Amino acid sequence: SQKIEQNSEALNIQEGKTATLTCNYTNYSPAYLQWYRQDPGRGPVFLLLIRENEKEKRKERLKVTFDTTLKQSLFHITASQPADSATYLCALFGGNAGNMLTFGGGTRLMVKP
């Protein structure tokens, strides 16, 4: 069966460190992968999109990698800040992932001062 797996346990890190979140998928061959941030009581907010032919994408302190062989995307936040604390969701689209964005369950990140 098709699955998108994100660590359901919260990731706790110290301010200033690099946070790395993982998105693994099974039985999908997506053409695109997106990352969203969701704060409590709010809707998800788009952060980054990466295509299957791109290995890496950066935006300010954010970096996303997309390994179609490992079927994995890594999401990095460098020099993390308490304001980065939120839930981060990955979403797949295209290929055999279909024409709709399919979301993972999200990982909660807690950055401690």
Partner 1 sequence: DAGVIQSPRHEVTEMGQEVTLRCKPISGHNSLFWYRQTMMRGLELLIYFNNNVPIDDSGMPEDRFSAKMPNASFSTLKIQPSEPRDSAVYFCASSPGTAYYEKLFFGSGTQLSVL
Residues found near partner 1 in the complex (CB under 8 A): 31-32, 34, 41-46, 49, 89, 93-94, 99-106
Q: By C-beta, is 13 or 38 nearer to partner 1?
A: 38
Q: Which two tokens stand for residue 40?
A: 């409590």
CB of 2 to partner 1, least distance (A): 13
Report, in Å, the least distance between residue 97 CB and partner 1.
Answer: 10
Nearer to partner 1, 32 or 76 (CB): 32
Are the C-beta atoms of residues 87 and 6 closer than 8 Å to each other? no
